[in-house]
Amino acid sequence: MSENTTTRRSRTHVSCTVNGDQVDFLADDGTSLLDALRDELDLTGAKEGCGTGDCGACTVLVDGRINCSCLMFAPEAEGCDIVTVEGIAEGDHLHPLQQTFLEGAALQCGVCTPGFLVSAKALLDENPDPTETEIRYALAGNLCRCTGYDKIVRSVQEAAVQLRGAAR
Where in 84-143 is the site for another protein (CB under 8 A)?
A: 84-86, 89, 94, 98, 101-105, 107-114, 117, 119, 122-123, 132-133, 135-143
Q: How far apart are CA 129 and CA 119, in angstroms?
A: 15
User: Which residue in 91, 84, 104, 110 sits closest to 162, CA to CA?
Assistant: 104
3-class secondary-structure state, position 5: coil
List 13, 21, 26, 29, residue binding another protein (CB under 8 A): 29
Query: Under a CB-based contact definition with an 8 Å cutoff, are residues 62 and 80 in contact?
Result: yes
Nearest approach in angstroms of CB 157 to another protein is: 11
Distance CA 66, CA 52 (A): 15
CB of 55 to another protein, least distance (A): 5
Residue 126 or 129: which CB sits closer to another protein?
126
Output the smallest distance, CB 29 to another protein, in A: 4
